[in-house]
Amino acid sequence: MSAVVKVWIDEGCITCDACENICPEVFLVEDDTCIIVDGINPGEWGDDIIEAAEGCPVDVIMYEVADGDAAPPAEDTPAEVVEEVVTAEPEAIGEGALAGVMAGDRDLHILFGSQSGNAESLCSLIAKKATGYGLVGHVHDMDGFDLASMSGMKRVLIACSTWGEGEQPDNAEALFNAAKGAGKTLSNTHFSVCALGDSSYEFYCQSGKEWDEVLAVMGGSRIHDRVDCDVDYDLPAAAWMAEALSRIACVDDSGTFHEDLVAEMIAHAAGDTASASSGDVATVAMPEIQLVANIFRYNADKGETGVDAWACAIPGHHSVLDLLRTLKATQDGTLTFRDGAADDPTTGVSVNGRLVLPGLTRLCDVVRDKGQGSQIRIEPVAAYDVIRDLVVDYSSYDNLRAASKPWFVGRQREGTYVGNVAMGTMDAVVATELHTSNDISSPQLLHATSDTVPYNRLYMGPAMVCHLWNRSCDPRISDSSRTAIIESLAATNGVKSETDMASIHRQGSMGKIAAKSVLQAKTAVLSHDGYNGRHGKHVWWYTWSIKSSGMVNETTLYRTVLGPMGLVNNALSGVSARMIFGFTRTGRPMFNELLGMVAPPAGIGKMPKQFNSSVENHHEVISIFNEMDGRF
């Protein structure tokens, strides 16, 4: 038994659990480090402590033997040093060699060919992760990249999406064409390619495949096999990134690849990437933009509204929030906006009509030049009352949210015994859909995407509709709660109050996710109501009329949905008159074909016809209806 009198953990633990597996009586691995169990007597566990210290991959277990020396294990076995040179040699060489590899030039050049931004985002993530491998990531847009400079690069990673029918993204096309005819210029360059694509297309990941091929033709050394990623690219791209980085990081200053050091590099990175996993994503530096910022101002005390315009020069990759902070600090301290973290959901503003979180929005992505220089228009979010300048009052949203009773009421369900507790389970597909549909960056902004909200302040709004609908789709919810939610969505001021989902759908990915949920909620509510009420009848008879002729029959809609009272109301309010006398405004003939004279007023002026002629091969339409939905 070795006479260990003291044991402690130095900084740098990677929480790999190796020590706890060897001697759980002494070592307890927590979330961020390992600790020594309180009250233990190191002398009782001397051999185990030394074994754990020797097995520690990052040598953070320190101990003190009876003679008083603090010692990591390998250095504290004096009599056996000579004997262990042979066995210790790989480790010794490894340590030294790894340090040697990580000395000198550590630049990693990461190029993106991107149409929708996925490849660009991936490259930013690679640059961030590269620091864990002792690399300095430089992200390059392929557009404008100097191909000649690549010959001097030792490490190159490429992420490239495919556009259209196997075409290069717009920003990659010129560089790729140049690369095809560049000749063997990459004799000292190691590379790997991540191809993004969509397997439903014939030319799946074609652009990435072409880059992989052309870089090899140019003489580059493929350091890791290309990966072809489908629409859900996160997992395969992450796996490729880990492998490619661990290998390309083993390319030294001279451009030599040390394959024997890859395992050590992985271990080394495991210590560093933990700390690199938080913090800001690396940014792609963009050129400075000369712009005019037009910012809405409102001072309630003076009752003044207006727009202040400031001419600025600011890097394109700076955020809208950076711009506001700069203006407040340097131009006008009274400029008022909600400041906070980049993803603070309450900081939303309208930038050139786009609803955004300013901390997550780069200026280069929103600035527009319409021939009068670059402009940016920043306004408060329209759905809310303005308190001052860009600050709005969210209380209307908060009140609607409180009134909707959004809390979760669970039900009892079967669980699975895992270790010492019983946990509920959920189908992976359902869980993924729930996570996706709840991926809303700012409910306050989502509420404002609807063009209905400003004109119907009692409407619960798309954010609440989504929240309630997603909750109703959660398999953990109680049946009574699900029923209550559907009834809440079906009530006056529920989802049927939404007059046009197009305004929601066009607000980026958040809008598309929300529009899908709002649509599903509407479908469920209409079915729940048996297609009664005007909204239900509108949907039902519209669909029915398409089946009956292929074209919408508005006369049917007016008569079945509005009913006699609605038609009288239209007649008294002048709507019918403006329809009938539409020919006086458009100058076209009074009657819309002869049918206008058969069942007037249908067919007169702008009044829709009584009957529609059927589209060609109308029987095909009926067959599709019969297969897809037998209700109509």
The Cα-based distances of 103 to 21, 80, 133, 137, 271 in angstroms read 35, 31, 12, 15, 18
* Least Cβ distance, residue 211 to another protein (angstroms): 23
Pairing of strands 190-196, 368-369: unpaired
Scanning 240-248, 300-308, 336-344, 579-587 for contacts with another protein by CB under 8 A, the matching segment is 579-587
Quick one: which of 97, 557, 567, 571 contacts another protein (CB under 8 A)? Answer: 557
Burial (CB count <10 Å: 0-12, 13-18, 19+), residue 420: exposed
* Least Cβ distance, residue 107 to another protein (angstroms): 35
Distance CA(1)–CA(196), nearest Å, equals 58
* Least Cβ distance, residue 161 to another protein (angstroms): 14
The strand order across the sheet containing 70-71 reads: 4-9, 61-65, 70-71
Rounded to the nearest 10°, the torsion over CA 73, 79, 83, 84 is 10
Scanning 271-279, 285-293, 330-338, 544-552 for contacts with another protein by CB under 8 A, the matching segment is 544-552
Complex with another protein: residue 276 or 580, whichever CB lies closer: 580
Quick one: which of 294, 533, 571, 601 contacts another protein (CB under 8 A)? Answer: 533
Quick one: which of 326, 346, 396, 543 contacts another protein (CB under 8 A)? Answer: 543
Interhelix angle 508-528/461-472, nearest 10 degrees: 60
Count the helix, strand and coil residues of the chain and give each as a percent rounded to the nearest 5. Answer: 45, 20, 35
Could you say which residues in the range 70-99 bind another protein, by CB under 8 A? none
Rounded to the nearest 10°, the torsion over CA 537, 542, 543, 546 is 150
Could you say which residues in the range 371-410 bind another protein, by CB under 8 A? 377
Complex with another protein: residue 88 or 552, whichever CB lies closer: 552
Quick one: which of 491, 551, 559, 597 contacts another protein (CB under 8 A)? Answer: 551
293 forms part of the interface with another protein (CB under 8 A): no
Complex with another protein: residue 185 or 570, whichever CB lies closer: 570
Complex with another protein: residue 61 or 320, whichever CB lies closer: 320
Quick one: which of 415, 499, 532, 598 contacts another protein (CB under 8 A)? Answer: 499
Complex with another protein: residue 138 or 496, whichever CB lies closer: 496
- Compute the half-sphere exposure of residue 37: CA atoms within 13 Å on the CB side of its CA: 13
Rounded to the nearest 10°, the torsion over CA 143, 149, 154, 158 is 10
* Least Cβ distance, residue 572 to another protein (angstroms): 10
Give Rg (Cα) of the chain. 33
Could you say which residues in the range 157-176 bind another protein, by CB under 8 A? 165
Quick one: which of 177, 199, 399, 480 contacts another protein (CB under 8 A)? Answer: 199
Instruction: At 485, list the tokens.
Output: 């939610």
Could you say which residues in the range 594-623 bind another protein, by CB under 8 A? 606-609, 612, 615-617, 620-621, 623
Pairing of strands 70-71, 34-36: unpaired
Distance CA(192)–CA(220), nearest Å, equals 9
Complex with another protein: residue 334 or 499, whichever CB lies closer: 499
Quick one: which of 60, 186, 466, 579 contacts another protein (CB under 8 A)? Answer: 579
E strand intervals along 164-271: 190-196, 221-222, 227-229
Distance CA(396)–CA(384), nearest Å, equals 7
Instruction: At 243, list the tokens.
Output: 């492998």
Cβ atoms of residues 110 and 119 within 8 Å: no
Distance CA(320)–CA(367), nearest Å, equals 10
Could you say which residues in the range 458-477 bind another protein, by CB under 8 A? 459
Distance CA(108)–CA(568), nearest Å, equals 74
Complex with another protein: residue 249 or 355, whichever CB lies closer: 355
* Least Cβ distance, residue 356 to another protein (angstroms): 10
Could you say which residues in the range 416-455 bind another protein, by CB under 8 A? 451-452, 454-455
* Least Cβ distance, residue 555 to another protein (angstroms): 8
200 forms part of the interface with another protein (CB under 8 A): yes
* Least Cβ distance, residue 405 to another protein (angstroms): 23
302 forms part of the interface with another protein (CB under 8 A): no
587 forms part of the interface with another protein (CB under 8 A): yes
Query: Going by C-beta distance under 8 Å and a sequence separation of 6 or more, which residues neighbour residue 225?
Result: 192
Pairing of strands 190-196, 155-161: parallel
E strand intervals along 70-127: 70-71, 107-113
Complex with another protein: residue 98 or 526, whichever CB lies closer: 526
Scanning 66-74, 297-305, 476-484, 540-548 for contacts with another protein by CB under 8 A, the matching segment is 540-548
* Least Cβ distance, residue 379 to another protein (angstroms): 9
Quick one: which of 314, 498, 514, 517 contacts another protein (CB under 8 A)? Answer: 498
Distance CA(404)–CA(490), nearest Å, equals 12
* Least Cβ distance, residue 534 to another protein (angstroms): 4
Distance CA(327)–CA(335), nearest Å, equals 8
Complex with another protein: residue 90 or 574, whichever CB lies closer: 574
411 forms part of the interface with another protein (CB under 8 A): no
Quick one: which of 18, 88, 286, 552 contacts another protein (CB under 8 A)? Answer: 552
Could you say which residues in the range 513-532 bind another protein, by CB under 8 A? 519-520, 522-523, 526, 531
Q: CA torsion sign, 207 to 210 to 212 to 215?
A: negative
Quick one: which of 85, 502, 597, 598 contacts another protein (CB under 8 A)? Answer: 502
Total residues contacting another protein (rule CB under 8 A)? 86
Complex with another protein: residue 300 or 458, whichever CB lies closer: 458
574 forms part of the interface with another protein (CB under 8 A): yes
Complex with another protein: residue 332 or 379, whichever CB lies closer: 379
Q: What are phi and psi of 239, to 5 degrees?
A: -65, -45
Complex with another protein: residue 200 or 416, whichever CB lies closer: 200
The string over 227-240, giving b where at least 16 C-beta atoms fall within 10 Å of a residue's C-beta and e elsewhere, is: bbbeeebeeebeeb
Could you say which residues in the range 257-286 bind another protein, by CB under 8 A? none
Cβ atoms of residues 522 and 468 within 8 Å: no
From the list 200, 228, 201, 199, the residue with the least C-alpha distance to 212 is 228
* Least Cβ distance, residue 165 to another protein (angstroms): 7
Cβ atoms of residues 122 and 194 within 8 Å: yes
Quick one: which of 325, 505, 528, 559 contacts another protein (CB under 8 A)? Answer: 505
Distance CA(94)–CA(213), nearest Å, equals 33
* Least Cβ distance, residue 376 to another protein (angstroms): 10
Cβ atoms of residues 145 and 178 within 8 Å: no
Residues 347-366: x/- map of binding to another protein (CB under 8 A)? -----xxx------------
Complex with another protein: residue 310 or 542, whichever CB lies closer: 542
